[in-house]
Copies of this chain bind each other. A is one copy, B any other.
């Protein structure tokens, strides 16, 4: 049993964090009103962020979810506006479809698309099976969409997008209409069902990892504010109520993190408990992040409500991502069903 990441995985996350410290400061995040900065995305892709889970024959690194978790947590800590969850999930799904399709020759256009996505030159996105909206569809070259039990790759230009603005403005959401002849079939039947399950699990896993980073940062900002802010003649961080709120949020995040990592391992190793493990992780990460957001607002007081404070950059991410890819209620329901209806109480490890 070894609950640690490899040196390479740590190094990759450190490189992502370093890049974001320079190119994804709060000022940068504020400036990214559209939700997508091609230059920053290209830089991230240059160090491998877009290609980790793309198969090697298609220009990727052939890695797995475990190679990504720490780096995605760093993205959450920086409130990275780019849709790292959706693009990675889409690229992984397309790569897997290509791999299985390779036996039948694959699809040349998709190979090009995937290679460009791995390079950071084309963005992919995907519809979450739990949600009616597609994130970042406006920035994407192509969308992976499900219709009547089959999956398609749809050119963005062949799809009609209706914006559905949400609390997290840079995370653009859309309802998408498209003609069937505008899409290319990549999976149907059993393969499509497997793709739906894989997409849902991966999106939930990665949004969970992102939420851990955002929650960690919210706690850091609140601790720092509570040390400096003087009320009633003393720093508010010396009051027990403030301490205990922050300690509880910290504990929630610390206990959610190993669950997210275990879920990554379950997915990667194809464990029988993968669905349940992913749902436990997303439920815990969503709840921990919501708790951190509520405590951060309470500690900051009115200033946390302003556009001037940076706090809202993380708050809005938490409110959006804790509900995207299935909220805590939905995932807890999936755990209950596995645990109680199917009496699957076996554990991994």
Residues of A within 8 A of B (CB): 239-241, 244
Contacts and interface: CB of A to CB of B under 8 A. Distances in A.
A174 B239 CA distance: 51
Contacts of A241: 240-241, 244
Contacts of A240: 239-241
Contacts of A244: 241
A135 to B, nearest CB: 33
Contacts of A239: 240
State the main secondary structure of chain A at its contact with B: helix
5 contacts: A239-B240, A240-B240, A240-B241, A241-B241, A241-B244
A244 B239 CA distance: 12
A294 to B, nearest CB: 16
The list of the 3 closest CB pairs from A to B, nearest first, reads A240-B240, A240-B241, A241-B244
A241 B240 CA distance: 6
A304 B244 CA distance: 23
A244 B240 CA distance: 10
A191 to B, nearest CB: 41
A129 to B, nearest CB: 28
A259 to B, nearest CB: 27
A151 to B, nearest CB: 37
A264 to B, nearest CB: 36
A242 to B, nearest CB: 9
Nearest to A241: B240
A208 to B, nearest CB: 30
A215 to B, nearest CB: 23
Nearest to A240: B240
Nearest to A244: B241
A311 to B, nearest CB: 24
Nearest to A242: B240
A188 to B, nearest CB: 40
A113 B199 CA distance: 72
A239 B240 CA distance: 7
A162 to B, nearest CB: 32
A106 B239 CA distance: 68
A133 to B, nearest CB: 28
A57 B257 CA distance: 70
A244 B241 CA distance: 8
A295 to B, nearest CB: 14
A240 B240 CA distance: 6
